[in-house]
Amino acid sequence: MATDYATLKKGGFMRQKQKNNFSLRLRVVGGQMTAKQLAKVAEVADQFGHGYVHFTSRQGVEIPFIKLDDIDAVKAALAEGEVQPGVCGPRVRTITACQGAETCPNGCIDTENLAVELDQRYFGRDLPHKFKFGITGCQNNCLKAEENDVGIKGGVQVQWQSEKCIQCGVCVKACRSGAITLENGKIEIDRSKCNYCGRCAFGCPTDAYETTPGYIVSFGGLFGNRISKGEPIIPFIEDHDKLLKVCDAAIQWFDDNANPSERFKFTIERVGEDKFNKAILDAYEA
């Protein structure tokens, strides 16, 4: 019986140069694995591979040199440690994320739980080509959100509260965009310069800024044979449900309009940015 390589690839088993050897990509959500999972991965790599793993550029974990005859045994062993194979090919890939507000002082959003939510919502969905999400918690952009088909960057909308302000000027110095000025005891924020980084609020010693977390979403990023920076359509999305609506709209638009083996960016270019932008704005305003 012929080996069904397409099905194996869909299940995370990628053919190697060495005949009947596969590199198994594992399902990792937001760059997080438990100690129990890591122990099982190490055990499987020792027993069935060459005793090492490869960490990919997108927070993936791969076990090389899995033999064709061992594939079922490998999947069973991994399941004992609550480890699942990942996916390859034309479908939604691993959701990547930085640590976000849970542990990072600069984090504006809970990237870890958002990654889990998007993984449960989209992971493995078949599409005309691969589709990548990347989530970064702030303007430091550790995950390089704009390189992804859909990139999500955390931010905060700030509102100055005069009654709490002591005019120390810390926020003015903290703002890297030059959006904040202090004159005659009053703070002014130039909204056209603000990039929602939240440094003013995080640095304020008297909590004189009210903050509203939200998301800056970019579309159509690429980092491969052609490099293209994803661009936002809506400057700042405060509502979590609206974030999910625009993500749903982006994936569905790609599914409806893309040619086979055509990346999201190229579909947008071919069909028209105006038509794609309208679909996103319609979803946001619904």
- DSSP code per residue over 127-168: -SS-B-EEEESSTT-TT-GGGSSEEEEEEEEEEE-GGG----
pLDDT for 179-230, tens place per residue? Answer: 999 999 999 999 999 999 999 999 999 999 999 999 999 999 999 889 999 9
Q: Rounded to an integer, what distance in angstroms lies between the CA atom of residue 168 and that of residue 138?
A: 25
What is the band of 112 on the pLDDT scale with cuts at 50, 70, 90? very high
pLDDT for 228-275, tens place per residue? Answer: 999 999 999 999 999 999 999 999 999 999 999 999 999 999 999 999
In eight-state DSSP terms, residue 157 is E
Q: Rounded to an integer, what distance in angstroms lies between the CA atom of residue 218 and that of residue 233?
A: 7
Q: Which pTM was predicted?
A: 0.94
What is the band of 95 on the pLDDT scale with cuts at 50, 70, 90? very high
What residue type is assigned to position 286 of the chain? Answer: A
For residue 173, how many other CB atoms are within 10 A of its CB?
13
Q: Does residue 276 or residue 224 have the better pLDDT? A: 276
